[in-house]
Amino acid sequence: QVQLVESGGGLVQAGGSLRLSCAASGRTASIYGMGWFRQAPGKEREFVAATSWSSGNTYYADSVKGRFTISRDNIKNTRYLQMNSLTPEDTAVYYCAAAGRPGFGRRESYDYWGQGTQVTVSS
């Protein structure tokens, strides 16, 4: 089992920044990658970004490329999603998830999910 604890959401004005954290515990050796998804009201949960757990390679959805960045702290088993130049369209509940296999853009690749954190961007 892997446990994920998210933090860092909140309310920010358009153009502002937030940093989300996702701390993993438990069987972290089974983690292949970590990703973030988001779900806005009335919309499907969509892929935002992901990173390979071992290599640190990163992948981003086109909608956030150039604005969001993943970083890591291997000692703390924590990954961070730095979100800059936020717009109201980024408003959603953000979920981090641990993948046990390749295919970071697919929800089916993820076995464990965090509790979600609300990000609200005001115009």
Quickly list DSSP for 21-34.
EEEEEESGGG--EE
Q: How far is Cα 81 from Cα 97, in angstroms, rounded to an integer?
A: 12
**How confident is the model over 64-87, as pLDDT tens digits?**
999 999 999 999 999 999 999 999
Residues of the chain with pLDDT under 70: none
What average pLDDT is seen over the chain? 97
Classify 65 as helix, strand or coil.
coil
Query: Beta strand pairing status for 10-13 and 117-122?
Result: parallel
pLDDT of residue 80: 98
| Cβ neighbours of residue 22 closer than 8 Å, sequence gap 6 or more | 4, 5, 6, 34, 36, 78, 79, 80, 81, 96, 114
User: Which of 112, 34, 18, 113 is closest to 78 using CA atoms?
Assistant: 34
